[in-house]
Amino acid sequence: MKTATQLRDEALDQVEENANAEWTNLVAQIIKDLIAKSATITSDDVWLELQNYPAITTHQPSAMGAMFRSAAKQNLITPTDRFISSVRPSSHARPIRVWQSNA
């Protein structure tokens, strides 16, 4: 039987594989740009920047989590123990992780 962590990782792998490649490339670049300018970032920061590219989308917004996991695997960012409330209306103020830049 698979663990919860294994199932989560498999789901994130699948979401990342199925995401629009143009979107994943853009998100990866946005994360790099943001961590070059700030000590910490959140997914809200990336979503805010994505508003500048309305034609580039992906069918599964949960791919954002996979993108942050990928950036962490590349040692670009490190998860902190801090969470803040999302400001995105579609997120209904759910807690989101604050990530530390390793730049």
CA angle 46, 42, 5 (to 5 degrees): 110
Q: What is the pTM of this model?
A: 0.89
How is residue 22 written in tokens?
């143009």
| The predicted structure's pLDDT at residue 60 | 87
Domains of the chain listed by start with CATH number: 4-101 (1.10.10)
Model confidence at 80: pLDDT above 90 = yes
Q: What is the pLDDT of residues 26-49, one digit of tens each?
A: 999 999 999 999 999 999 999 999
Residue entry with tokens 């490190």? 78
CA atoms within 13 A on the CB side of 85: 4
